[in-house]
Amino acid sequence: MDKKELLVIKIGGNVIDDNAFLSKFLEDLAAIPQPKILVHGGGKLATQLAAKLGIETQMIDGRRITDSETIKIVTMVYAGLVNKKIVAKLQANKCNAIGLSGADAQLIQAHKRKHPTIDFGFVGDIDSVNSDFLQKLLEDAYTPIIAPISMDNAGVLLNTNADTIASTVALAMSSVFKVKLFYCFEKQGLLSDIKDENSIIPTIKIEEIQQLIDNKVIVDGMIPKVQNIKFAIQQGVDSVCLCHASNLLDISRESSNFGTTFLN
Amino acid sequence: MDKKELLVIKIGGNVIDDNAFLSKFLEDLAAIPQPKILVHGGGKLATQLAAKLGIETQMIDGRRITDSETIKIVTMVYAGLVNKKIVAKLQANKCNAIGLSGADAQLIQAHKRKHPTIDFGFVGDIDSVNSDFLQKLLEDAYTPIIAPISMDNAGVLLNTNADTIASTVALAMSSVFKVKLFYCFEKQGLLSDIKDENSIIPTIKIEEIQQLIDNKVIVDGMIPKVQNIKFAIQQGVDSVCLCHASNLLDISRESSNFGTTFLN
């Protein structure tokens, strides 16, 4: 029997920080008829709250450290404020959303990141996803909304990259569903010329990725994002699309005339 | 067929504010073999956070008002920090907890409180509980952990009294389960002499409540708590017990030698 389609959609911080745009995005999401899971980032709210409370952002070698105060802040903001705001807006649009952190129902089990020289603090690398639980929620027509917080096996909450959560969840669901993963962000897709918003590369085969990195078409923060995408496709996710957050309704229409689609 | 037993347990703010005591309480909760639902209050954390952020607590006629900034704070603290801290500690004790606000899966639908003279702001009075969803979670051996936040039908998050959530949830589950409701707090039960911690009244029939109010045995903040209890029993909750939070293991042992039990 053919697998049923499942959309795993990730929205980044820039969408969350813009209230009007977030409302439109969630209205569009609620209108998508397919089963779907949303993974959200945190936006600037956590940094702003930390600043107001006088908690300094610690950086080591240019990398952010999640200390014991910061994990409390991100738990409050990501799993509390942002997650429930999204859930409530979806409910208002008749989408029966349920907000989850990685601690709830052991959804995302992780371990504290190990690094030879840097102690990242309360940062988690993912070990497993409770896909059975997500499947049951989807069968009952609930839409899971996942905050980027995971948990280790001693019950310690950990800050985890939302892009990685999205690809890992997509992967975990691939045994049961035909999973299409969408990274929605503030650009139209992968651009062949970073200065030209219209130079969208419509499709990329994963074997072409390294060349695009070598040619500096894929640069900076896009490199780990694309590596994540490559891994997801290699491991069984049907397709991954990088697109603007305003393309959400195109997703449900199965239009292919938007964003950059990564294929095997 | 006899209904299966379900324990609905409410813990108040004083337990949440004491880390060591909370840990012990959650260890005891995890050890209870029966299906259970925990409803938690907020503790002083929300007030402390609001104070740190310079958000003043508004009071009208001695009653707290939840303004637009305060509902954000309580959503962060109750549904984020406190809820996930409880879930994570239970997970560490091998209890598969899942944290929920009233917005998630339309768990607790409410409306903004109407009052002839006072605008309480974002305060919700409960209309309904999604008991089907709770029942499914319990059947799958999950333990729901409910934060005192509800939602109206326009997707507006509302602050709601945790005692009332506990009694309303208990009531909603009574059609399927034999529900025992426990209010765990910092006293040993209802005392016949408020100065004597040993003067616990072991059982009270709900018809005796008015006399205890008239005789000033039940006073102040205990009056609405006991009215809540009376309503719950009248509407079908099997029994309600008011006890110290350290009595949790006695609950599972079905010992009756603790706290005050209210009966029909």
Phi, psi angles (nearest 5°) of residue B113? -60, 130
Please answer yes or no on whether B75 and A77 come within 8 Å at the CB atom.
Answer: no
Please answer yes or no on whether B81 and A76 come within 8 Å at the CB atom.
Answer: yes
Angle, vertex CA B182, rays to CA B180 and CA B187, nearest 5: 155
- Whether B99 and chain A come into contact, CB under 8 Å, resolves to yes
Please answer yes or no on whether B106 and A91 come within 8 Å at the CB atom.
Answer: yes
Strand partners, A39: A10, A146
- Whether B48 and chain A come into contact, CB under 8 Å, resolves to no
- CA nearest neighbour of B145 among B38, B248, B264: B38
**SS3 of residue A45 by DSSP:** helix
Contact B29, B90 (CB under 8 A): yes
Please tell me chain B's helix, strand, coil percentages from 3-state DSSP, rounded to the nearest 5.
Answer: 40, 25, 35
Asked if residue B43 has pLDDT above 80, the reply is no
Please state the length of chain A.
264
Q: What is the pLDDT of residues B53-62, one digit of tens each?
A: 999 888 777 6
Contact B183, B242 (CB under 8 A): yes
**Among partner residues A72, A140, A154, which is closest to B92 by beta-carbon distance?**
A154
Q: What is the mean pLDDT of residues B213-239?
A: 90
Lowest average pLDDT, out of A62-66, A133-137, A195-199, B190-194, goes to A62-66
Q: Which two tokens stand for residue B38?
A: 């925990």
Please answer yes or no on whether A155 and B105 come within 8 Å at the CB atom.
Answer: no
Lowest average pLDDT, out of A89-103, A124-138, A245-259, goes to A245-259
Q: What is the pLDDT of residues B237-252, one digit of tens each?
A: 999 999 999 888 888 7
DSSP secondary structure of B103-115: SGGG-EEEEEPP-
Cα of first residue to Cα of last residue in chain A, in angstroms, is 22
Q: What is the pLDDT of residues A139-195, one digit of tens each?
A: 999 999 999 999 999 999 999 999 999 999 999 999 999 999 999 988 889 988 888
B173 vs B163: CA distance, rounded Å: 16
Contact A50, A72 (CB under 8 A): no
Please answer yes or no on whether B77 and A76 come within 8 Å at the CB atom.
Answer: yes
Asked if residue A1 has pLDDT above 70, the reply is no
- Whether B94 and chain A come into contact, CB under 8 Å, resolves to no
**Among partner residues A79, A90, A100, which is closest to B80 by beta-carbon distance?**
A79
Residue A203 CA to its chain's centroid (Å): 20
CA A167, A171, A173, A177 torsion-angle sign: positive
- Whether A42 and chain B come into contact, CB under 8 Å, resolves to no
Q: Roughly what angle, to the nearest 10 degrees, separates helices A19-31 and A83-92? A: 50
Interface predicted TM-score of the whole assembly (ipTM), two decimals: 0.94
Lowest average pLDDT, out of A24-38, A247-261, B75-89, goes to A247-261
Determine the pLDDT at residue A97: 98
Q: What is the mean pLDDT of residues A211-219?
A: 91
Q: Which residue in B has a C-alpha nearest to residue A138's C-alpha?
A: B105
Q: How many CA atoms lie within 13 A of A158 on its CB side?
A: 28
Determine the pLDDT at residue B1: 66
- Whether A165 and chain B come into contact, CB under 8 Å, resolves to no
**pLDDT tier at A197, thresholds 50, 70, 90:** confident
- Whether A75 and chain B come into contact, CB under 8 Å, resolves to yes
Q: Chain A contacts of B78, Cβ < 8 Å?
A: 80
Contact B73, B53 (CB under 8 A): yes
- Whether B178 and chain A come into contact, CB under 8 Å, resolves to no
More confident residue, B2 or A201: A201
- Whether A58 and chain B come into contact, CB under 8 Å, resolves to no
Q: Chain B contacts of A104, Cβ < 8 Å?
A: 84, 87, 97-99
Asked if residue B204 has pLDDT above 90, the reply is yes
Q: Chain A contacts of B103, Cβ < 8 Å?
A: 84, 87-88, 91, 97, 99
Query: What's chain B's average pLDDT?
Result: 92
A125 vs A114: CA distance, rounded Å: 9
B80 vs A57: CA distance, rounded Å: 21
Contact A197, A158 (CB under 8 A): no
Contact B232, B171 (CB under 8 A): yes
Determine the pLDDT at residue A153: 94
Longest Cα pair distance anywhere in chain A, in angstroms? 56
Domains detected in chain B: 4-263 (3.40.1160.10)
Query: What's chain A's average pLDDT?
Result: 92
Asked if residue B253 has pLDDT above 80, the reply is no
**Among partner residues B78, B99, B155, which is closest to A88 by beta-carbon distance?**
B155
Q: Which residue in A has a C-alpha nearest to residue B51's C-alpha?
A: A53
Contact A57, A29 (CB under 8 A): no
Q: How far is B224 from chain A (nearest CA, A)?
A: 29
Residue A195 CA to its chain's centroid (Å): 25
Q: Chain B contacts of A149, Cβ < 8 Å?
A: 84
Burial track B171-201 (b if 16+ CB lie within 10 A, e otherwise): bbbbeebebbbbbbbebbbbbeeeeeeeebb
Residues 6+ apart with CB under 8 A from B238: B174, B178, B179, B180
